[in-house]
Amino acid sequence: MNKDPSQNTYAVIPERLWNGISDRIQLGKAVVVKGHLIDAIVPIGDIPVSMEKIFLNDCTLLPGLMDAHVHYSSVMGPAFLAAGVTTIRDVGNNLEWILQQRDRHAKDLSAGPSILCCGNLLDGPDIYWPHMGYAHRSATDIKASIQHHVESGVDAIKLYAGVNPTLMKVAVETAHKLGKFVVAHLQDTSAEEAIKFGLDEFEHLSGCEVAWRPATQLEDDLMIDQLLAHNTIIDPTLVVWDRLGRILDHSFLHDNRRIWVHPHHLFIWQNYQSRNAPQENRWRYQGAMVHLKRFLRRAHERDVTIALGTDTPFPNLVPGMSVHDELAMYFDAGIPAIDALRSATSINAKVLGIDDKAGSIIPGHRADLLAVKGNPIENIQDISNITCTIREGRRFQPKDLLEMVNSFFNHEPDGAVSKDLWEYVKANLKK
């Protein structure tokens, strides 16, 4: 890993370049990085002889990936970078802690990806995740929480499953008056109700009943009409439902990417409650996958804005690498590889409100880049063939990042999600 590149200028020379927006790959182009930013995109022949050059043979260079649905823990950062993920949005954590992590990552590029955050999960009267969440019994309560979060400097507001329609309406109105984007995991409020109230984005396709069952084109279209009419964004996180449905699948035990996962989290995965739940609980998710993919495909065909997130670190979601898995699921749903990759780059950047500085390879944008062997536009599986990741001009190799991750394994992971999942598993083990 090289030193801080604030005064460094060099040229990245891949075999293929995809800028995150275009319908086609560019050949014969180089990206000039100056300090933390992309300075220019030029023909290879125009690069000064004296300039440092990074040759990437048989590689495709593309924008750094983004994961729009993460619950961050202190032991994840290098794994995200190793997977080419240069930006994450944390959608539920301890408010003060995640703000500190956001600042730490901004100052130390080696700590992990750039972080945007929502603070606590703002829940209804009965809190589900005690460390990540915060309970609200009245409109006054939730207004006060949103005001506090906005004043603390969050990037968006996250509402959780127990927020009922009355609280949802008040919360969305309050956040919008304060200029904040609102994300929600729906349960006690339906997708139709939340859309009507002006919710900006909902996660997991939760609350969207039609997506979870066999449905006709007309039924899907009626739901999609509402999404389009209100410019509502969806972030399906298909991979978390797949993992919960297949939590007993032994193939995950042989996933060599588990070397990036802290032993504490591996223990949680191996003792997660749904492993011992009635089979029907797992079958529900297994059976729903085909319907969720069908709805996703139809939403894409009609130009609904589709973000891409994972719900890391829930069971068998390897930090960063689960973005590759979600991309494969989008492709399996019938979304072309290039459109799936847009969801993880330029579309996610727009959803996160940072498309003026990230998400595409454009002069003036942050030098957040990913080089992979092969061509993921033609074969989405190639996205996993990481050669190097560049975050704000600083280059990282997977082998160096793995050494950093291994150094964390002697320390307990910090972060509200690790605490909540640990307590959830401990309570199950006592039964």
How many whole angstroms separate alpha carbon 415 and alpha carbon 431? 26
The segments of the chain whose pLDDT lies below 70 read 1-7, 430-431
pLDDT for the residue numbered 336: 98
Omega before 313 cis (within 30°)? yes
Strand 133-134 vs strand 386-391: parallel, antiparallel, or unpaired?
A: unpaired
For helices 263-270 and 416-429, the axis angle rounded to 10 degrees is: 40
- Contact predicate 121/132, CB 8 Å: yes
Q: CATH number of the domain at 64-358+408-429, please?
A: 3.20.20.140
DSSP reduced 3-state for 120: coil
DSSP letters for 82-145: HTTEEEEEE-SS-HHHHHHHHHHHHH-GGG-SEEEE--SEE--SS-SSTTTEE---SHHHHHHH
Q: What tens digit of pLDDT does each residue of 77-128 get?
A: 999 999 999 999 999 999 999 999 999 999 999 999 999 999 999 999 999 9
Q: Domain 1-63+361-396: which topology?
A: Urease, subunit C; domain 1 (2.30.40)
Q: Which helix (DSSP H) or strand (DSSP E) does residue 102 occupy?
A: helix 95-107
Domain ranges of the chain: 1-63+361-396, 64-358+408-429
The amino acid at 407: S
- Contact predicate 172/196, CB 8 Å: no
* Nearest by Cα to 370 from 9, 56, 22, 115: 56
Handedness of CA 134, 137, 140, 142 (dihedral sign): positive
Return the DSSP state at 71. Answer: -
Query: What are the counts of helices (DSSP H) followed by strands (DSSP E) for the chain?
Result: 14, 17
How many whole angstroms separate alpha carbon 119 and alpha carbon 106? 17
The amino acid at 190: S
Q: Which helix (DSSP H) or strand (DSSP E) does residue 57 occupy?
A: strand 52-63
- Contact predicate 295/226, CB 8 Å: no
Q: Which helix (DSSP H) or strand (DSSP E) does residue 101 occupy?
A: helix 95-107
pLDDT for the residue numbered 1: 44
Structure tokens of 428? 């199950």
pLDDT for the residue numbered 5: 54
User: For the stretch 154-191, what's the b/e string if a residue is b when 16 or more beta carbons lie within 10 angstroms of its beta carbon?
Assistant: bbbbbbbbbbeeebbbbbbbbbbeeebbbbbbbbbbbb
* Cα torsion through 137, 138, 142, 148, rounded to 10: -90
Strand partners, 373: 59
How many whole angstroms separate alpha carbon 359 and alpha carbon 66? 8
Return the DSSP state at 248. Answer: T
| Look-up of token digits 């409109």 | 139
pTM score: 0.97
Alpha helices in 198-332 (DSSP H): 217-229, 238-245, 263-270, 279-301, 321-332
